[in-house]
Amino acid sequence: MSKALIIAEKPSLAQKIIGAIGNMKRVNDYYENDEFIVTSVFGHLLTLYDIEDYTGEEKKKWSLDNLPFFPQNFEYKIKNDTGIKERYKLIKELIKRNDVTEIINSGDADREGEVLINIVVYKIFKELKISKKITRIWLEDQTENTIRKELKYRKDIKNTENLYNEGLARSYIDWLYGINLTRYISLKAGTTLNTGRVIIPTVKYIYDRDMQIKNFKAEKYYTLSAVINKEGQEIKLDFSKLKFTKDEYEKALNIKREIENKNIKVVNVENKEVTKKPKKLFSLATLQNYMSKNYKISLDKTLSLVQSLYEKGYLTYPRTNTEYMAEEEIPKVERILQVLNNSDLELKKTKAIFDSSKVESHSAITITEKLVDETKLSDDEIKLFNVVKNRFFANFTKEECILSQTIVTFEIENTEYSTKLKGTSVIQQGYLKFENDLNEKSVPIFKNNELFKNNIKLEEKETTPPNKVTEAELNRFFEKPFKKQEVEDENEEENDTEDYKAILKGIEIGTPATRSGTVEKVKKIGYISANKNILSITDLGIKFIETLDKLNINLYKEKTVELSQNLKNIYNKQDTIDNVVKKEEVTIKNIMNQNIDVERISKNINKESLGKCPLCHKDIFESKLSYSCSGFKEGCKFSIWKTIAGKSITKSQAKKLLLKNKTDLIKGFKSKSGKEFNAYLKLEKDGSIKFEFN
């Protein structure tokens, strides 16, 4: 009897598939019944060759001699890990079986999942010199119903061939830029500077903002504003035309004198009822931004939480770039609403929710028909699940949200100066009972021709620098790199068709699957630092961008977006992998042919100096085994060992020794005989360190 081998991306997914199929018997590290065999990879089993794998050379110090390096054919190798090698061997044995006539790719429903499984299968086919049928299941959620449905209607792998080709091209180009430019820039600068096509515009965005802040010069300006008293409530009125530069102080004074005895008059009161619509369903980016703003949870942590909830079957696939659902998902939502059985909700077949033209591979993140068991979730998972659930409820609330909106227009009598005051009150809650995003305040009741005493004031103010970049703002930059990002787009545009056309053309930086990982990577490298969700450039980050500029390497947002569009052309079958790869090889070759020399960067640039060397007065930095002098290349041998007489010496103790020539009393040293003792460490003039006892 012929069988289909299901290869899941993770062991946890394999277990869900086994549960959905039912009646499967465990055999060593896989499960089997009369129809299916189920196993899994552990994420990436394979990785692309290094340069030395192609050349046959032993790994040695990097050299400019073999740069740029362009493989004739990109090759994958098994990762050097015993568990991974064993799993690859098992999958190979299962594929080789005569009764296995079909392999089912059950990777995550994205490019990475497509590539991750297929490269393993195709490599094994090549090694065994065989070919078998490959199909694909696409799990928008991991509920048993969805798994069973996908297994029943699995599709030939050719249906996702364009996704596979785009994924391959993306990995090849990331390799070309990552390997070639990291080595080239590092060799030029004299220290390791990890780089890549998405790393560069990420660091540049934060660098540009911090340079704006650093170079900002505050300027004085003046405003005229009035405070009126209405029913004991003081209300400040700002007049937009009454704003003056620092050189217009006298003009401001004269206007103040001219108008200060004139009344402020209500010239119009407009009351109208408006229907307020809920915000759209969540894409990964908008969910990350929401969690960052409201709960100070990082982009990476949000992705981890939503991925966990997806794997538990409570949320749909997380790595999506759209806030819409496909029209064919209407029956799915109908089933969810039936399971919820909530009288406040109803199915709404509107373009504001269901619009297939704005869905590429995955729909917006929503709840599934699986009822949540909060006892199996962490506090943060519950928090995130409720955010997604409430947004879903808001979009399918029966009752309209109706507000009373008041706009009061004021005028300084017999002048051209006017201003408006807006207020809102709730007539009918509607979706606000699930997600109260109403920020506007109510205003007192005003009448036409009502007069108020003019308490006009002249205020001196200063312009303020731009704000530091937040993780949420950086995330919006990735999605819409050519839009102004300073103001959060809380009130989303009603007509976002052009935005989605841009996304579908590839006018974006990175992908929903990789962006948070890139942010974490540049933090780890040391180009940026983070304080909660606020990002800053580091000294190393500044040197990185300056080095790129000196080497004429302009791979900022324009080039990265162009590259993203080229990859999208592969997905849309308008270009080939070879053509796109060759274009980037030309770009890399042109960069390196310039052969520009730059100043060397200190390897200690981001490290904290603990003090000055007592011998040569250079900085002391922490290394793996000691706190040592940065002048070691010039022959200085001074260092403070991190372990002295069996006792670990802390950074603060080393600082005190360098500053005061003596530490506080340290307890717990051990003599050669094993006897414990307490002592001070004392720094002598010759740089030696000795014990001092009471």
Residues 161 and 42 in one domain: yes
| Average pLDDT of every residue of the chain | 92
Residues 20 and 161 in one domain: yes
Q: Are 649 and 643 a contacting pair, CB within 8 Å?
A: yes
CATH at 234: 2.70.20.10
Query: Does residue 602 lie within any of the structural domains?
Result: no
CATH at 96: 3.40.50.140
Query: Does residue 433 lie within any of the structural domains?
Result: yes
Residues 64 and 110 in one domain: yes
Q: Are 347 and 334 a contacting pair, CB within 8 Å?
A: yes
Beta strands in 231-344 (DSSP E): 233-245, 264-276
Residues 85 and 139 in one domain: yes
Residues 615 and 648 in one domain: yes
Query: Does residue 148 lie within any of the structural domains?
Result: yes
Q: What is the average pLDDT across 403-414?
A: 94
Query: Does residue 144 lie within any of the structural domains?
Result: yes
Structural domain tally of the chain? 5
3-state secondary structure at position 405 = strand
Residues 205 and 224 in one domain: no
Query: Does residue 603 lie within any of the structural domains?
Result: no
Domain range for 666 is 611-692
Residues 188 and 266 in one domain: no
Tell me how far apart the alpha carbons of residues 445 and 215 are, in angstroms, rounded to a whole number: 47
Q: What is the average pLDDT across 447-462?
A: 93
Q: What are the structure tokens assigned to 232, written together?
A: 């004991």
* b (16+ CB within 10 A) / e for 154-184: beebeebeebbbbbbbbbbbebbbbbbbbbb
For the ranges 34-38, 485-489, 519-523, 673-677, the lowest mean pLDDT is seen at 485-489
Residues 71 and 19 in one domain: yes
Asked which of 153, 169, 185 is the last residue of a domain, the reply is 169
Q: Could you report the per-residue pLDDT of 586-642, keeping only the tens digit for each?
A: 999 999 999 899 988 877 777 778 888 998 888 888 888 889 888 887 888 899 999
- The pTM score is 0.84
State CA 495 to chain mean position distance.
25
Question: Residue 627 forms beta bridges with which residues?
Answer: 622, 640
Pairing of strands 36-40, 3-8: parallel
Query: Does residue 27 lie within any of the structural domains?
Result: yes
Asked which of 536, 563, 593 is the last residue of a domain, the reply is 593
Write the burial class of residue 26 (CB in 10 Å: 0-12 exposed, 13-18 middle, 19+ buried): exposed
Residues 69 and 129 in one domain: yes
Tell me how far apart the alpha carbons of residues 368 and 143 are, in angstroms, rounded to a whole number: 8
Query: Does residue 598 lie within any of the structural domains?
Result: no
Residues 268 and 336 in one domain: no
Tell me how far apart the alpha carbons of residues 616 and 639 are, in angstroms, rounded to a whole number: 12
Residues 8 and 151 in one domain: yes
Q: Could you report the per-residue pLDDT of 617-627, keeping only the tens digit for each?
A: 888 888 888 89
**How does residue 485 score in pLDDT terms, banded at 50, 70 and 90?**
low
Distances (CA, A) of 584 to 173, 320, 470, 560, 579: 7, 27, 31, 11, 9
% pLDDT > 70, the chain: 98
Query: Does residue 606 lie within any of the structural domains?
Result: no
Residues 576 and 487 in one domain: yes
**Angle formed by the axes of helices 161-189 and 557-571, nearest 10°:** 150
Asked which of 342, 371, 395 is the last residue of a domain, the reply is 395
